[in-house]
Chains A and B, each alone.
Chain A
Amino acid sequence: MIKLENITFRYGEKLVLDGFSLEIPDRGLTALSGPSGCGKTTLLRVLGGLARPERGKVDGLDPARTAFLFQEDRLLPWRTVGQHITDVLPRSRRGELPRWLAFAELEGEGGAYPSALSGGMARRLALARCAALGGELLLLDEPFAGVDPARAARILEQLRGLGVPVVLASHQAPVLAACDVVIKLDGPPLREARG
């Protein structure tokens, strides 16, 4: 279990998390749901070590061994689709490029630049880059924004097949339905285990 204990976080004057505690399973797919501004992104950033809480601690996780998918694609306009993947792979794993292109359903697009991609394709590339980077935990902020539901379902299954625990934030009902655990962040955290 990954344990967040008594986490308090604020952006300037705005209190986003106030003495927040939560246990997250360290296997399978866990979803964080809730309305915009409820702290899903902040929680992911705290887990990924990208935001330092004012108070509280995270146990059972080394933030340096997580891979984070940002809410924005953050693609490099001067790198091709293929280079985005190989840039995060160590030299010994460069041969995995076709596998990750297939993961994102971007076969044949390896030489394209981000400007030539649709919103959904760019999102899938960002997701594949994050998954290729890998680590002990994948933290995905709105991974399927702009991705059509059928593709999202297929990629979600591939994510499950990686065998790496995933914590994702999403608004999309089909995505939430496919996760093993859904944690609602509107008010005190509620856990809803499935399957």
Chain B
Amino acid sequence: MNQGIKKCFKLAIPLVFWLGVWQLAAWAVGQPLLLPGPLAVGGRLLALAGTADFWLSMGATLWRVFLGLFWGAVLGGALAFLTHFFPWADAVASPAIRVVRATPVVSFILLVYLWIPRTAIPWVIAGLMVLPVVWGALSTGLRSLDGKLLELGRAYRFSRWKQLRLIYLPALRPHLSAGLLTAFGLAWKSGVAAEVLCPPDRAIGSRIQQAKLGLETADLFAWTLTIVALSLLLERILRRGLERGNRT
């Protein structure tokens, strides 16, 4: 059996098994309102995918998640350098970042709901979840940098920019990749959760909220499946991109 067929079986067998379990459970419950079967959900998913709103909602959610990932990563990275090199910055910022990391996302969502426009809440929340993860990963990386290479940079009269470009950034790349992968998952989940609790006009979270209010359980399942599929797909793309970057 060739590798391609083996790979298909490896993917298809668990998928068929769990779809079967789901269908059996749906028959056992016997109430589509509580647990619709996979065929009903698949039908709804296909119907939703035929509407412009489905794709626009997906695009809007993606935009917010990536905006959150971007600002959280940039600020988290900058803070990691700041707290590593300046003890006063470490004393001031590190406890605050740890508090952000320990605070439940729901508390943040409900708090920022009072302070900022509803459309901005998902990307602000996603960024807040990303920031401590990237900060933590880069802080660990900075602490583990090879002191001998840093001494080389100083002894060979490299400018600060050159030290950053030739020594710091390449050495930190594996830490940043690991941090970004974890952060992406968090940004995705927290961003959608924020959309559900504070629904903007167009978003996957808003559609989930509508489906819940309208007791459209099949739609709820269809949107959830969309989120899971998108998350897996984007994580795979991100992982491949980061791995390629680490190799070069």
Interface, chain A (partner B; CB < 8 A):
48, 50, 64, 67-68, 70, 72, 74, 76, 78-79, 87-88, 129, 133
Contact = CB atoms under 8 A, between A and B. Distances in A.
Contact of A78 (B148, B162, B170): B170
B167 interface: yes
B115 interface: no
Nearest to A79: B166
A48 B166 contact: no
B155 interface: yes
A76 B165 CA distance: 12
Interface in B162-221: 162, 166-167, 170
A89 to B, nearest CB: 11
Contact of B151 (A50, A79, A129): A50
Nearest to B162: A87
B152 interface: yes
A52 to B, nearest CB: 14
B156 interface: yes
Nearest to B173: A78
Given A50-B151, A70-B148, A76 B156 contact: no
A70 B166 contact: no
Interface string B132-153: 0000000000000000110110
Interface residues of B toward A: which range? 10 to 19
Contacts of B162: 87
Given A76-B167, A79-B166, A48 B148 contact: no
B149 A76 contact: yes
Interface of A, secondary structure class, is loop
Contacts of B149: 74, 76
16 contacts: A48-B155, A50-B151, A50-B155, A64-B157, A67-B156, A68-B155, A70-B151, A72-B148, A74-B149, A74-B152, A76-B166, A79-B166, A87-B162, A129-B156, A133-B156, A133-B157
A50 B167 CA distance: 19
Contacts of B158: 87
B170 A88 contact: no
A147 to B, nearest CB: 20
Which of B148, B151, B152, B162 has the most C-beta atoms of chain A within 10 angstroms of its own C-beta?
B152
B152 A70 contact: yes
Nearest to B146: A74
Interface string B21-65: 000000000000000000000000000000000000000000000
Given A70-B151, A78-B170, 16 more contacts: A50-B151, A64-B157, A67-B156, A68-B155, A70-B148, A70-B152, A72-B148, A74-B148, A74-B149, A74-B152, A76-B166, A76-B167, A76-B170, A87-B166, A88-B156, A133-B157
A178 to B, nearest CB: 26
A48 B162 CA distance: 21
A87 B162 CA distance: 9
A70 B166 CA distance: 18
B162 to A, nearest CB: 8
A64 B170 CA distance: 26
Contacts of B157: 64, 133
